[in-house]
């Protein structure tokens, strides 16, 4: 009998520990986390905080390496569509939802009052950690909540996580697609909007070509052109200005 009681206690303890581990795993996408040990990340964060302090930001771009790439492969599109709108790019290579949350809490949007934020985040939650679609949705929601609290007069345009991998059946593509279905429901079409332009990047059979994204993840120049042109009517409408051509 004593042995049975001990065994029952052990099983109960293991169940409790499992519950704690599951809770911690499920919350990781919504718990702010920095990457200051990465020298370039720390330097970029400090630069963006200083830019925010200068103010005069009408458009905020939030994301990961795909957004970061507007400073590289997408620079021509940035200069055409976003620089004239006093845009600030706070996209960071390899960032996940929790990293964006930390940055929003640590100066990157302090003292600014943009009209619009364009956000796409989550593909690294899939690629780095295989987060469930629900976790990615929760991370995006947490970012929206933070933005609504800190910048209540700003509209938010969430872009569907872009397609990745060559084929539509790839597990990571499918995970992002499922996350997008959940993320789309965050839109209220009043303060938060959702736009899916993924079909613009794909062939008729759903394949993604190297002509658009050479590594099947990051756009080349043509990909950034497709992106900027596809969202321009919506961006202009939400910002209350004229579409750029």
pLDDT confidence tier of residue 4, bands split at 50, 70 and 90: low
* Confidence check: pLDDT of 131 > 60: yes
Instruction: Kindly report, residue by residue over 106-127, the tens digit of the pLDDT.
Output: 999 999 999 999 999 999 999 9
Residue 22: the pLDDT is 42
* Confidence check: pLDDT of 19 > 80: no
CATH class, 31-239 region: alpha beta
Residue 5: the pLDDT is 53
Work out the average pLDDT over 138-150: 99
Prediction pTM value: 0.90
Structural contact between residues 136 and 125, judged by C-beta atoms closer than 8 angstroms: yes
Work out the average pLDDT over 190-212: 98
pLDDT confidence tier of residue 102, bands split at 50, 70 and 90: very high
DSSP H or E stretch at residue 68: helix 65-68
Q: What is the mean pLDDT of the chain?
A: 93
Nearest to 125 by CA among 141, 109, 114, 111: 141
pLDDT confidence tier of residue 222, bands split at 50, 70 and 90: very high
pLDDT confidence tier of residue 14, bands split at 50, 70 and 90: very low
Instruction: Kindly report, residue by residue over 28-69, the tens digit of the pLDDT.
Output: 999 999 999 999 999 999 999 999 999 999 999 999 999 999
Give residue for tokens 């939030």. 62
* Confidence check: pLDDT of 26 > 90: no
Domain ranges of the chain: 31-239
Name the region of 33 (left: φ>0; alpha: ψ -120 to 50; beta: rest). Answer: beta
* Confidence check: pLDDT of 17 > 60: no
Residue 2: the pLDDT is 46
Nearest to 232 by CA among 241, 243, 220, 240: 243
User: Can you list the alpha helix ranges (DSSP code H) found in 70-156?
Assistant: 75-77, 97-105, 123-129, 133-150
């Amino acid at each position: 009998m004593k042995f049975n009681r001990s065994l029952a206690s052990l099983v109960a303890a293991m169940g409790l520990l499992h519950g704690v581990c599951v809770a911690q795993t499920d919350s990781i996408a919504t718990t702010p986390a920095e990457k200051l040990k990465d020298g370039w990340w720390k330097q970029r964060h400090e630069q963006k905080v200083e830019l925010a302090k200068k103010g005069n930001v009408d458009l905020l771009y939030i994301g990961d390496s795909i957004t970061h790439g507007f400073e590289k492969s997408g620079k021509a599109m940035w200069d055409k569509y976003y620089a004239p709108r006093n845009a600030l790019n706070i996209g960071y290579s390899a960032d996940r939802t929790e990293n964006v949350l930390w940055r929003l809490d640590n100066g990157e949007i302090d003292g600014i009052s943009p009209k619009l934020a364009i956000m796409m985040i989550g593909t690294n939650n899939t690629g780095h950690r295989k987060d469930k679609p629900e976790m990615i949705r929760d991370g995006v929601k947490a970012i929206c909540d933070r933005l609504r609290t800190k910048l209540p007069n700003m509209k938010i345009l969430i872009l569907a996580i872009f397609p990745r991998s060559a084929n539509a059946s790839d597990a990571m593509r499918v995970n992002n697609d499922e996350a997008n279905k959940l993320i789309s429901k965050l839109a209220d079409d009043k303060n938060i909007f959702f736009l899916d332009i993924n079909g613009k990047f794909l062939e008729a059979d759903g394949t993604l070509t190297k002509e658009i994204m050479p590594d099947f993840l990051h756009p080349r120049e043509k990909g950034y052109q497709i992106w900027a042109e596809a969202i321009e009517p919506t961006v202009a409408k939400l910002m209350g200005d004229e579409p750029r051509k």
